[in-house]
Structure 1
Amino acid sequence: MNINKLALKILLMLVAISAPSDSNAQQLDPVLQDLIQKGLNKNLNITSNRIDAEQAKVDQQLAKSVFLPKISLNGSYTRLNDDITFDQNTQTLLAATQKLVIKEAIGLPFNSPFPGNIPLQDIPNLQNKNILKSSVDLDWVLFSGLEASNALKASKHKESSLNYLGLAEKDKVALQIIETYDKLALVKASQKVLTTSENYLDEQVFYVKKAIENGLTTPLNRKKIELAQQQLAAKQLDFEHNSILLVELLHQLTGESKETLKLLNPQLRSISIIETANSEKRNEIKALEEAERATEYQIKMEKSSFIPKVAVKGHYEFIEDDLSLLDPKWFIGAGIKWNLYDGGQSRLKSKKAQLENEKYREKIQDAEEMIALSIIKAELSLESSKQNTKIVEKEIELASDTYEMVNKQYKNNLASINDVLEALTDVEKANFKLQESYFNERRAATDLLHAKGILAY
């Protein structure tokens, strides 16, 4: 078989291997899926967002804990400068009253002298100067005026908003990894094209060498081919550098080892978009809607500060000896707190939340318009890239046939070596354009899936 025909068949096989194969919009290369999952686990923004969502869950627990009873144990020791006693007149009155009670008890008239052999009890202190206390307190909110309930609902919507933001961030990371992976596939495919071109040039070197030996051509033609080989080597080096940079970027995005990434051999394949597939609401829109709902409950929470609040309080003293005569051993009671005027703080906070709510509404409308525009743009881009692929495939066919014809003419002294090299360059350029067209087609398809909210990974 003719060497030239063999090289042409190798080129056509390369085109066939690189040609786009239809795949379901929800399927990706398993290797790419694994890289995406590693990238999602590594990304700091996603981790930070997850922590924020956990904090929102803690806020919910705090709101619920308002209705749980609070029990506290207390202990204290106090030493006064002196005992707290009744004043002298009161002590005299209490002593006289004690004598009257005793005389009445033993049957003596009230105006008779008090017997000297009967001792009187000391008047107790109101409070001893050494005070040791140990007690337990109970505080229990029975009704918070709906403030805690609204705070709980606001926290739930905030958590949902953060979760949707996390999903949106995952989409961004996945898109970045997919694009980098596809760029690496483009570089690999382009390197194969250069290898095929190198085979063509090697064939020409062999032919020119034989022609020079037989006096059919001049050494100048060999130098022209050598120049073309040097230019090809420069292109190969450029693509090698691009491959190194893309491997480094994938390493940073996913944490996968560079040695493993260097062994990857990704293929460019187009993503088939099902025309009847319905769009889903983007995670960015869901996040904004949940944030908007959270502000609605914040408004209600601020307004509910004027609703009366009901609570129960209890107290029990473990040590009775150091209690004053006026201190109870225990008590329990219910109370109500009604905030009638707080200097306008609740009104201002409610207004601030209302403005925040309006801001989210504007963001939602703007995001919906931008997404609708991005869908149209991606659809048009996908249609153009598919059409361009068909055109480039025809260009490859024409360039290959032209090269084969010019090469035959050159061998029959009907064309110059410049014509052959120019035809070979056209074949090379056409194959590069095909790989780029596959890449652009895949980019448009991925962007369309993302814009419609149906990107799966």
Structure 2
Amino acid sequence: MRIKIGLFNFLCISIFGLFSNLSFSQELDPVLQDLIKKGLDKSQTVNIKSLEAQQAKLDQQLAKSVFIPKVTLNGSYTRLNDDITFDEDTQNLLVATQKLLIKEGAGVPFNAPFPDGIPLKETPNLQDKNILKTSVDVDWVLFSGFEASNAIKASKHKESSLNYLGMAEKDKLALKIIETYDKLALVYASEKVLNTSENYLNEQEHYVRKAIENGLATPIGRKKIELAQQQLEGKKLEFKHNKTLLIEALHQLTGESRDNLKLIRPKLESFSLNATSNTEKRNEIKALEEAEQATLYKSKMEKSHFIPKVALKGHYEFIEEYLSLLDPKWYVGVGIQWNVFDGTQSSIKAKKSKIESEIYRERIEEAEELINVSIIKANQAYQSTLQNSKIVKKEIELATDTYEMVNKQYKNDLASINDVLDALTDLEKANFKLQESLFDQRRAVTELLHAKGVLNY
């Protein structure tokens, strides 16, 4: 029985058909895009960065609230051991003054005796022993010496830095999900290769069985095929285990149920990549630049500690009867606070923040150098995968032709069953290499796009 050559052609066509050119950013598998979205929603690291950015936003509101008037309501009751009064000499002086004023009003000479029957007012207490107070205070910072404004700017840049760090974490997570998804696609593609090899072995087994019945072959040939079939089953089991592990990995990354993940059938599809695609600034660089600006404004904030601060103070008493003779019912004032010398603490803090910004600048330059190197390496890897794909295609053509030739020779007693099995193994390896080269190509594309800062998902 002859193996149909059409089966080989079908195998090659089905495999090469996977190489449809797609644009990475627009043509990602919708299932993969959905998994990435779920993974980003689930990621604790991404959520933590988002929460930290929210904290930085609240820091801005705290800094702005410095200029909002603070209103405080106060209430108190105090019981003194006794009333606070004038001393005896002062009381006598006040009584004598009162008498003089009454005489003057009545037209009586000041040295005449005080008229009888005219009542005198008692000298009031300076403070009654029962004191009940309710009041309101208003404190309003009019000028913070640029300390608050610099704090606001520092918090804004810190928020931006944390947002960019969150985006960088999203990129890393997306890369991990894409890689795991592609590995799962590689497993399914490899299973197809194994199924095709199984069909070939079944046909060879059928041929050998017939040949043995007709005395044209020995049982040893059938045993060799059975051994090859068992080895094939071992490979299938290995791929099954790999599939289980990859589904579990996707479940951990995305939170998608294992049952749903078992239903998906990812495919390896090649991506066309524009070699002249633009390079954009990576989120990691943006995060470092924003952090640098935040520390610069923090340094300015520390320096502004020596600039005078201006504030308004207001006070109003609701209950007047309990006030002492010296207490005002209300007052408003403007004050200046000027920290002339604080033991060089502010200066040291400002220098420390400045050094921190210089550290970020060094990190930026280091990161830019590493990114430039990664772009070169990723581009070289991509070019290598393209060349490797061409080589593998030729290997498949050669392995297919070799298998067909050896199979014909075996049918004509010009080759042994070992030669047929070796040729089939070579064809299987070539098909595996094709799937692996396609996987490597997709990895190279994603790494290059990520290195260039243009990875979209």
The letter of the residue matching 1:182 is D
Letter in 1 for 2:364: I
Unmatched segments (≥5 aa) in structure 1: none
In the other structure, the counterpart of 1:74 is 74
CA apart distance, 1:64: 1.3
- Which amino acid in the other structure matches residue 317 of structure 2? E
- Cα distance in 2 for partners of 1:13, 1:266 equals 18
CA–CA separation in structure 1 for the residues paired with 2:54 and 2:131: 47
1:401-440 to structure 2, matched below 5 A, reads 401-440=401-440
CA contact (8 A) 1:56 1:156 kept: yes
1:263 is matched with: 263
2-structure distance, mates of 1:6, 1:246: 34
Q: What amino acid sits opposite 1:69 in the alignment?
A: P
Identical columns (%):
69
State the Cα distance separating 1:406 from its structure 2 match: 0.8
Within 2, Cα distance between the matches of 1:85 and 1:70?
A: 36
Give TM-score, length-normalised by structure 1: 0.97
CA distance in 1, matches of 2:61, 2:190: 57
Aligned to 2:232: 232
Q: How far apart, in 2, do the equivalents of 1:408 and 1:78 lie?
A: 115
For these two proteins, the number of residue pairs brought into alignment is 456
Rounded Cα–Cα distance in structure 1 between residues aligned with 2:131 and 2:200: 105
For 1:208-254, what per-residue CA distance to the aligned partner results, in whole angstroms no more than 9, with x for missing partners? Answer: 11111111111111111111111000000000111111111111111
Deviation for aligned residue 1:409: 1.1
Alignment of 1:38-49 (within 5 A): 38-49=38-49
Give the counterpart letter for 2:208 in structure 1: V
Letter paired with 1:105? G
Q: Is residue 268–residue 439 contact of structure 1 (8 Å, CA) maintained in 2?
A: yes
1:132 paired residue number? 132
Larger deviation: 112-121 or 189-198? Answer: 112-121
CA contact (8 A) 1:153 1:294 kept: yes
Query: CA separation in 2, counterparts of 1:270 and 1:276?
Result: 18
* Partner residue in 1 for 2:97: 97
Find the counterpart in structure 1 of residue 34 from structure 2: 34
The runs of at least 4 consecutive aligned structure 1 residues that moved more than 6 Å come to none
State the SS of the aligned residue for 1:373: helix
The aligned runs of 1:8-19 (5 Å cut-off) are: 8-18=8-18
Check if 1:282 corresponds to 2:282: yes
Verify the 8 A CA contact 1:4 1:404 in the aligned structure 2. Answer: no
TM-score (norm 2): 0.97
How far has the Cα of 1:346 moved from its partner?
0.5
Partner of 2:305: 305
SS at match of 1:66: helix
C-alpha distance in 2 between matches for 1:115 and 1:213: 159
Pair 1:335 & 2:339 matched: no
SS at match of 1:182: helix
Match of 2:158 in 1: 158
Tell me the residue number matched to 1:247.
247
SS in 1 for 2:184: helix
Q: CA deviation at 1:116?
A: 4.0
1:252 corresponds to which letter in structure 2? Q
Q: Secondary structure at the match of 2:315?
A: strand
Report the counterpart of residue 180 of structure 1 in structure 2.
Answer: 180
Query: Within 1, Cα distance between the matches of 2:392 and 2:9?
Result: 18
Deviations 1:63-87 (A, max 9, x none): 1111111111111111111111111
The offset of 1:2, in angstroms, is 4.7
C-alpha separation between the residues in 2 aligned to 1:15 and 1:278? 32
Deviation at 1:326, TM superposition (A): 0.3
Q: Distance in 2 between matches of 1:60 and 1:66?
A: 10
Letter in 2 for 1:352: K
Q: Which amino acid aligns with 2:22?
A: S
- Structure 2: distance between partners of 1:404 and 1:166: 55
